[in-house]
Structure 1
């Protein structure tokens, strides 16, 4: 009976999350990423960031940001495009665990809403939606699928955020025994 109750609870949670994800994705997706780096702030269209991540082509806005912050373009591209293999169901279960909630809160210091409210929920939504397409997540997909028009990314923390995503993948493997290799 307890098993059935847990199964129903987890199934209901996944259905609600998936329904919300698909509904919100149709209505909202990040249009702009606002990078902050200390007191410096730069707003970029998500499309430009996607082009940079995939091809290395830098728009004048991205070049300006990289110059001002003295960031290595290749390191940023690597952090944006590194993929983690994970199924949406496993990811949802992990993100709803105590460890997952902690990691969501930690990552939300780096990727957040403009209002700095409901960061955990927005990030969870973006992560699960990213995994639902191809059983993989990457930082660029998380930014693209963020369910608000603007997503704030703390530039000083972007590499740390990558490492935190890596921890989620390791936790999934450790807790559920499901391989989540990095590509």
Structure 2
């Protein structure tokens, strides 16, 4: 697949070293894998975890659970596009190697990691990295993140839909375009970050088009990119609304966008369309505007979704996700951060989707 891979040593990363100036800390990859499976930290990993805030520690745990089942051919094409090369080049600046093969090594780790039985995740990437040590320069990561965010909105600016303009959004859309080309799926899921967390775990013949930050605005943009690929979806599930509430989208614009999205999806050869109500937050999440919209606004969005379902004569699938809530509030024990679902919450959501797809 990559003629240049033969130039790389046949190794796998045994440890990750974080470098900051003269300070270095190394963590065995085996310890990271063990922690992802048991949640028990080794003596080498514990100092690193102790350095993290409670929220960052939770995010690290969640990151370890992300395992993406990817189309290898589409992934290979993606990382050989100009966009893919730019992102690999950008990321390689934070990796210290004695040779000049940083980009080549990243490409190798991504492809080989994605071929693993568990899919591409942090651990499978590390185990596929062609060196016995992966050295990450933390100071360079800080500078790169600052550069990436230099043209973004101020931290205190209202949240907005930037799925199609952000680097990660662009590359995710490009991957979906390549992976969906001329394909026919029994079920397709369109949703925001909560749906994206499920990965492609809904069974053979299905595809999860979920994207972080997706609203009805970016859903339309996503569909306009996908439709020319001639992708077909026998059943389509739309699970959006939470971000529309958070972004402050008006009732009129949300209703218009959702109806236009349904019209576009109907051109994809489907027999049935299902709408999932917008996800509520916990009490704490609902009261924090940096996390999510107030549940009262989400309730208004759900009233609009009900209305659109009735007008467009599509099914509203609310029963399966009802166990997530109590009085239209997300249960604390099913959330990781007040807005997103934890493993138990995702299990309930996934089961609700499987019931729809298997009918």
Report the TM-score when normalising by structure 1: 0.70
- CA contact under 8 A between 1:29 and 1:145: conserved in structure 2? yes
Higher Cα Rg, which structure? 2
- How far is the alpha carbon of 1:52 from its aligned partner? 1.3
Give the Cα separation in 1 of the matches to 2:46 and 2:107. Answer: 30
- How far is the alpha carbon of 1:80 from its aligned partner? 2.9
Q: Which is richer in helix?
A: 1
1:93-172 map, 5 Å:
93-110=77-94, 112-115=95-98, 117-134=100-117, 136-154=119-137, 157=141, 168-172=171-175
Give the Cα separation in 1 of the matches to 2:172 and 2:89. Answer: 16
- CA contact under 8 A between 1:127 and 1:137: conserved in structure 2? yes
Aligned residues: 162
- SS of the counterpart of 1:133? coil
- CA contact under 8 A between 1:37 and 1:69: conserved in structure 2? no
Residue 88 of structure 1 corresponds to: 72
Give the Cα separation in 2 of the matches to 1:37 and 1:143. Answer: 20
Pair 1:135–1:45, CA change in 2 (3 A): closer
Structure 1: gaps of 5 or more residues = 1-13
- SS of the counterpart of 1:96? coil
Give the Cα separation in 1 of the matches to 2:130 and 2:22. Answer: 25
Report the TM-score when normalising by structure 2: 0.39
- How far is the alpha carbon of 1:31 from its aligned partner? 1.1
Greater RCO, 1 or 2 (C-alpha within 8 Å, sep 6+) = 1
Residue 349 of structure 2 corresponds to: none
Residue 16 of structure 1 corresponds to: 3
Structure 2: gaps of 5 or more residues = 146-165, 182-187, 190-195, 200-359
Pair 1:70–1:133, CA change in 2 (3 A): same
